[in-house]
Amino acid sequence: MARVFTSEDVSNIRNMLLGVDQEPAYDAEFFLYATSYYAILRIACESYFPGRIRGYTKQQYVVSLLHQACVLPLCSLAWMASVFEDTPALIYLLTGAYLASDSIINYTPAHGVITGMAGHSRHVVGGGRIGPDFSWGVHAHHIFTIVLCALGPNLPPWPVVEGAFCILLGEAGSMWISITLLWPNPLNYMIRFWAFLVTRVLAFTIALDIARQISYWPVLLAWLVLVTGLFFDNFRTLSRMAGTRNGGGSEHGKWPL
């Protein structure tokens, strides 16, 4: 069967939309494979570690901490040692794949099949919510971030590096959300709030500097829209964290508590 688009056609379309000439070291095929592997890992974890902790599946904790505390630090070390070609692009696409697998496995009807549960956020156990099995807010946050991860490797050389730092900062700040859910104590609540605040302020500042360096206006417009969307989403999350930064959080099952 003849292919609808050749690789040259795809390159030409990509170059026209993004205003770039160079071919990426990692492409859409790599992203799809990475998403599939993350999804398989989530299903395997769900099988071996069933159940929930404070409203979220154990699988979510395992994969989140694996990505944030193992995969990204290893990518950072590989970047410093120049082990892989174009390591920043690897950081972008692996993070996008991690988030895409989270949306697919945990926040769609697939979740009910995988966990063997009803798959409704209204389902209650012991008078409390067991956690969201579908969330427009989570999907919106993930979509904004995934599109940024797809756009990032096509930026000019220095903004690509800055964008990779933004991802590393963002995931480092988010890591303490999982840690606080697992070990809810006053110290972790305080670290969660300040880590999230500091990393978001730094990442947003870097994102504005990236925007300053983008000359191709369609990409600049897309970048500003996505960054603005993530800014308001993170501000909403930070506002909810502010009320529990001294360790008073008892609510769970609703992001980010």
For 224-233, the pLDDT digits (tens) are: 998 998 899 8
In a domain, 165, yes or no: yes
**Residue 219 located in a structural domain:** yes
Domain that holds residue 104: 26-119+137-244
Coil, strand or helix: which one is 123? coil
Tens digit of each residue's pLDDT (9 = 90 or more) over 81-128: 988 778 898 999 999 999 999 988 887 655 555 555 544 444 444 444
Residue 9 lies in a domain: no
- CA–CA separation, 120 vs 152, rounded Å? 35
Is residue 126 within 8 Å of 244, Cβ to Cβ? no
Is the Cβ–Cβ distance between 101 and 71 less than 8 Å? no
Task: Report if residue 15 sits inside a domain.
Answer: no
- The predicted-structure confidence for 87-99, as pLDDT tens digits, reads as follows 898 999 999 999 9
pLDDT score of 129: 45
Residue 130 lies in a domain: no
126 is a domain residue: no
How many domains is the chain partitioned into structurally?
1
Residue 51 in domain = yes
The mean pLDDT of 235-248, rounded to a whole number, is 79
Structure tokens at 145: 């971030």
Of 231, 226, 196, 193, the C-alpha closest to 211 is: 226
Q: Say which residues have a Cβ less than 8 Å from residue 119's Cβ, sequence separation at least 6.
A: 109, 111, 112, 113, 133, 134
- Do the domain assignments include residue 250? no
- Give the predicted TM-score (pTM) of the model: 0.79
